[in-house]
Amino acid sequence: MSNPSLLILAGDGIGPEVMVEVRKIIDWFDAKRDLKIDVTEDLVGGAAYDKHGTPLHDDTMAKAQEVDAVLLGAVGGPAYDDLDFSIKPERGLLRLRKEMDLFANLRPAQCFDALADFSSLKKELVAGLDIMIVRELTSGSYFGEPRGIFKENGERVGINTQRYTESEIDRVARSAFELARKRDNRLCSVEKANVMESGILWREVVTKIGAEDYPDVELSHMYADNCAMQLVRNPKQFDTIVTDNLFGDILSDCAAMLTGSLGMLPSASLGVPMENGKPKAMYEPVHGSAPDIAGQGKANPCATILSFAMALRYSYDQGAEADRLEAAVEKVLADGVRTADLMQAGAAKPASTSEMGNAVIKALDESL
């Protein structure tokens, strides 16, 4: 039986730095837990453009289709701002999502106890927060046609089309219902059915699925603008949220900041099943490429490390090892180890990227 496979696309900015720490952890699982993963590496984003003139080479796309999971760092940076839209670094990421058909984006927003004071909200509102946002990722206004900038009546007009089919809504809704069953059995579906026909269809499809196939899951509905308000008013009222591409992009970033730092937040994008029955999958931190601190050893690797933990859980059927890795990160934070993004004024010298990674390795050793 072959080993599970992983394609690492470190990307740009701080991506390669944080990925070094993940490689240490992969090596630890190999040496200490006999969990062997076949790892290959390639380029994406600006790094791929610099070498190939495209943000994602066709050969890299083919590799991504063949492996059990892809782990991506981050893409982009000011050096690529003047490129044509069609070859900007972000187009590589969007191509991966679209061609792998990664339709369900899982964005956990968990507030570790040790970081509750770092949230912009009062501690009592966020302590113990654990939300999962399921965002539809391959349709909606980011992909709908027609789109573009056109001339009309003597002036330019920008057009994006919000478009959803029943089947696109159905599959992401079922993913969210299944996740809700494994959590607190509560699902909130978010749209704008009061002003958008796509929202009306979304609500109808989700309601029908819930009534027919998931009557055990408590289903509620909320308009997207109200959901944004409720996330900052009383975030712990939510457990699992399912929403479309645009609203999911906005609401998941809003929820992310409740936790105190983007440097702590992972994500998973899951797609259609492969021949082995497992979904195609890509894992990536929520944060960007942070070119302003690239190469300085200041980046927090935890979001990428926790993204690998999600890969252990969803792609490699290693739930217990995922728990072990997540607990190690939590212990490091509880012990007071902090990268620069988690430092408060007047605190001691922050840990470097590699020091944070080493601390997680030490915590993993102590877990044995």
Please report, for the domain that includes residue 183, its CATH number: 3.40.718.10
pLDDT of residue 148: 94
Active site residue 142: yes
Q: Looking at the predicted structure, is the pLDDT value of residue 345 above 90?
A: no
- Are residues 242 and 267 both part of a single domain? no
Active site residue 349: no
Active-site annotation holder among 49, 68, 80, 192: 192
- Are residues 363 and 265 both part of a single domain? yes
- Are residues 30 and 43 both part of a single domain? yes
Active site residue 170: no
Residue 364 sits at φ, ψ, to 5 deg, of -65, -40
pLDDT of residue 326: 96
pLDDT of residue 137: 93
- Are residues 270 and 343 both part of a single domain? yes
Q: Where are the beta strands (DSSP E) in the chain?
A: 5-11, 38-42, 69-74, 104-110, 130-136, 144-152, 155-161, 186-191, 218-223, 240-243, 266-273, 279-285
Query: Tokens 């969803």 map to which residue?
Result: 314
Q: Note whether residue 46 is domain-resident.
A: yes
pLDDT of residue 128: 86
pLDDT digits (tens, 9 = 90+) for 54-71: 999 999 999 999 999 999
Identify the band that residue 120 occupies on the pLDDT scale cut at 50, 70 and 90.
confident
pLDDT of residue 278: 78
Report the Cα 316 to chain-centroid distance in Å.
17
Active-site annotation holder among 142, 164, 214, 316: 142
Are the CB atoms for 251 and 224 separated by under 8 Å? yes
What is the per-residue burial (b if ≥16 Cβ within 10 Å, else e) of 186-204?
A: ebbbbbbbeebebbebbbe
Are the CB atoms for 285 and 259 separated by under 8 Å? no
Which of 190, 225, 258 lies at the terminal end of a domain, its last residue?
Answer: 258
Measured CA to CA, the distance from residue 163 to residue 352 in angstroms comes to 45
Which of 258, 284, 304 lies at the terminal end of a domain, its last residue?
Answer: 258
pLDDT digits (tens, 9 = 90+) for 257-271: 888 777 789 999 999
Active-site annotation holder among 12, 42, 244, 249: 249
Are the CB atoms for 267 and 105 separated by under 8 Å? yes
- Are residues 98 and 146 both part of a single domain? no
Whether the link from the prior residue into 350 is cis, omega within 30° of 0, is no
Q: Note whether residue 368 is domain-resident.
A: yes
Lookup: tokens for 280? 């195609």
Measured CA to CA, the distance from residue 79 to residue 64 in angstroms comes to 26
Are the CB atoms for 72 and 92 separated by under 8 Å? no
At 149, is the secondary structure helix, strand, or coil?
A: strand
Which of 218, 241, 258 lies at the terminal end of a domain, its last residue?
Answer: 258
Active-site annotation holder among 101, 130, 225, 239: 225
Higher pLDDT residue, 110 or 239?
Answer: 239
The sign one gets for the Cα dihedral 213, 163, 224, 137 is: positive
Active site residue 249: yes
- Are residues 168 and 225 both part of a single domain? yes
Active site residue 331: no
Q: In residues, how long is the chain?
A: 368
Q: Is 299 exposed, middle or buried (0-12, 13-18, 19+ CB in 10 A)?
A: buried
pLDDT of residue 346: 52
Q: Looking at the predicted structure, is the pLDDT value of residue 207 above 60?
A: yes
Q: Looking at the predicted structure, is the pLDDT value of residue 277 above 80?
A: no
pLDDT digits (tens, 9 = 90+) for 173-184: 999 999 999 999
